[in-house]
Amino acid sequence: MLQKTKPLGVLLTLIAVLFSPSLLASSAETMDLTSHGIGYAALMFFAVAYCLVMLEDVIHLRKSKPVLVAAGIIWAMIGFYYSQHGMSHDAEAAFRHNLLEYSELFFFLLVAMTYINAMEERQLFNALRAWMVNKGFTLRYIFWLTGILAFFISPIADNLTTALLMCAIVMKVGGKNSKFIALACINIVVAANAGGAFSPFGDITTLMVWQKGMVQFGTFFSLFIPAVVNFLVPAIIMSFFVSKEVAQSDGEVVHMKRGAKRIVMLFLITIAFAVLGHSVLGMPPVLGMMTGLGILQFFAFFLRKTHKSYYSGAIANTNDTVEHERLRYLGDGAVFDIFTKVAKAEWDTLLFFYGVVLCVGGLGFIGYLGMISEAMYTQWDPTYANVTVGLLSAIVDNIPVMFAVLSMQPDMSTGQWLLVTLTAGVGGSMLSIGSAAGVALMGQARGIYTFAAHIRWTPVIALGYVASIFTHLWLNSALF
């Protein structure tokens, strides 16, 4: 066994010596590695990994892979250093703390993704898309409708799913009108990000703030008006450049599968379980979410067991030709299987989140987050620091940015925590690469909605960003 572990120890020793010859002679009391080789190496590995993440669409490398490797290397170096000083238990405890934080968010997001996948499989979103396409609305009306729906759906569903659904509608009705499609996609990205900012379920960053206990559930809705302002300011300006021509309908008919509406109700009940469990019982929200997953599994069992008998009886009792065909089509479909919905969760995103949490947690344990917190939240005014966080999230994914802020645990008022939640949520709208919704739509509307198309409207989006901040500072001044 000693021979198996020796190469790893030698490798880590070489890294340590290479970057800091005095590493093992440093003080074991403070364990501040920010000026040692371990710290510099950790920064380098994280920077390289994140560069690969940002180049995902260019090199076609899944974003989870580099951060998973970087997290392993960072904590291996930390573990080696602490074991050399007889403090391996401290490193282990720190790692377990970060792992526990991730696991709560992981299971919460897994349940939410499973519900969204179940709704999608039951044709709920496709039915909504077909209804909108066949109504014969004008392009300007579609521009506003998709934006408003994105704003109000994203607080419940995630902003990525919402953006993809609305973009599918825009692509259908837009046809060859690339100008309309580009403007509508920009509007959808801004709306989806803004809508997710005022709900604990709307974005991973808001979920992190809520689960950490920095802001109570009901207090998030104080951001509703600022979020509306963030969406409306650029939307109003861009709408003047959208044509009023009538959208073309393709006559597509989509039938929702049995149980679609009941799954929506179960999802709302599951959210209620999470909220009440956290606010009334003081339990982590993940408890309510996992309970809701169990209920969905029971409902899936019910649908599977009654599938054949239900459709056989319904087909036999109808004389309407159209209804007969609809029932036959739905009855011939595959039965509902809950574990296929779990399998279709965004595993790359979930694993990416693990890598980010552990990387940032490792950098925080080394001491870098303390340095940044001292610089930003002690030497700067917290308002300026939180506005800067939003600007940074337009370049770097808001998940590591928000996790870093939470790890710093700056002493801020509720109003300031709401401000950083708002800016981290909507700041990514200023660039197409600043949010998951923007990156996804660049792939879906490839060649039409591009980085260049988005950045032309960045000044308008920035105007909404600034307006939403001032609105929050004014309306919620009592929380500061």
In order along the chain (480 residues), what is the average pLDDT of each group of 10 residues? 40 38 37 84 90 78 89 93 88 88 83 85 81 80 92 80 80 82 94 90 80 86 95 95 78 80 91 84 87 94 85 72 69 75 81 85 82 78 89 75 79 91 90 76 80 90 96 92
- Confidence (pLDDT) at 1: 39
Task: Convert 62-99 to b/e letters by CB count within 10 Å (16 or more is b).
Answer: ebbbbbbbbbebbbebbbbbbebeeeeeebeebbeebe
pLDDT confidence of residue 401 = 75
Whole-angstrom distance, CA of residue 121 vs CA of residue 300? 12
- Cβ contact 359:70 at 8 Å: yes
* Per-residue pLDDT, 322: 67
pLDDT of residue 251: 67
Residue 127's pLDDT is 83
- Among 102, 107, 113, smallest CA distance to 286 is for 107
| Amino acid letter, residue 267 | F
63/56 Cα distance (integer angstroms): 6
Q: What is the pLDDT at residue 324?
A: 65
Q: What are phi and psi of 243, to 5 degrees?
A: -65, 155
Contact 169, 146 (CB under 8 A): yes
Q: How confident is the model at residue 158, as a pLDDT?
A: 67
Query: Which amino acid would we find at residue 135?
Result: K
Whole-number pLDDT of residue 350: 83
**pTM of the prediction?**
0.73
